[in-house]
Amino acid sequence: MEIWQAIFLGIVQGATEFLPVSSSGHLVLVPWLLGWEAPGLAFDAVLHLGTMAAVLVYFWRDWVRLLRGGWQVVRRRSFDHADGRVLAMVVVASIPAGIVGFLFEDFFESVFNTPVTAALFLLVTAGLLVAAERLGDPARVLGGLTWTDALVVGLAQTLAIFPGVSRSGSTIAAGLWRGLRREEAARFSFLIGTPIIFAAGVKQIYDAAAGGQLAAISNTFFAGVVAAAVVGYLCIWWLLNFLRRQRLFVFAGYCTALSIVCLVVALTRG
């Protein structure tokens, strides 16, 4: 892999991990459309380090505040502390995806990790975003989150096991459906995504090490990591500001257009 290819794929990963358009789908479809070889498990693993760094750096103040609140919950043995309660909601919402990913990720990737299925699942992402905008009534903030809200958003996160279904898209859509403001739904999506991104990165690094693929890591790979981290950070900042004023329809349109292009390409290539 050339260094410019690693940087390009790092940019793709950094943007699509946080924008509601599916990073897993893009990492399947982009190399396929460009006629590149699949980047491989080791490269995917190190790219996750970049996106993990982006979300941790952007939300470090939030995590410090939430962890302090969590300590107050433990000390008082009560969920009357607002930040501690939100931290508990983050934990609850992270559990379903953690269980599903641990038990079934390898199976789902082996069955559905193809360009055609990734393109089809992009339509699912588009449908979720449109449905959330049509059916949701965004008015609440994170402080008003209920246990049911957290569980629904957490269950929505499990849909991202399908390549092409956006993790951020499904969780933001679920948050809107439960009445969260768009920016608040995105913030909660990123918070519950932090442990999932971390766990996915650790698992991929472990799998790559077990398969002897970490020896393939080079400076080229680290260029991709830096690109993923920088672009990921900027995309988090941009999306949170965008959702204060705009709806999700533009991302639904993008997913639909990309899906159609990829399906047409698949038909013409035979």
DSSP codes of every residue in 153-191: HHHHHGGGGSTTS-HHHHHHHHHHHTTB-HHHHHHHHHH
Mean pLDDT on 68-73: 87
Amino acid at 180: L
Q: Note the pLDDT of residue 270.
A: 62
Average pLDDT over the chain, rounded to whole?
87
Residue pLDDT, tens place only, 7-28: 999 999 999 999 999 988 998 8
Instruction: Read off the pLDDT band of 216 (50, 70, 90).
Output: low
pLDDT of residue 218: 63
CA–CA dist 221, 214 (Å, integer): 11
When pLDDT is averaged across residues 201-224 and rounded to a whole number, the result is 70
Evaluate if residue 264 carries a pLDDT over 80: yes
Mean pLDDT of 115-123: 94
pLDDT-based confidence at 241, cuts 50/70/90?
very high
Phi, psi of 194 (to 5 degrees): -55, -55
**Two tokens, residue 46:** 């190190």
pLDDT score recorded for residue 42: 65
Which residue ranges make up each domain of the chain? Answer: 3-269
Name the percent of the chain lying above pLDDT 90: 54
Tell me what pLDDT residue 132 has. Answer: 94
Q: Is the pLDDT of residue 269 over 90?
A: no
Give the pLDDT of residue 259.
Answer: 96
Cβ-based burial of 87 (10 A; exposed 0-12, middle 13-18, buried ≥19): buried
d(CA 33, CA 35): 6
DSSP 8-state secondary structure symbol assigned to residue 77: T
Q: What is the DSSP letter of 212?
A: T
Q: Mind listing the pLDDT tens digit for each residue in 140-186?
A: 888 888 999 999 999 999 998 888 999 999 999 999 999 999 999 99
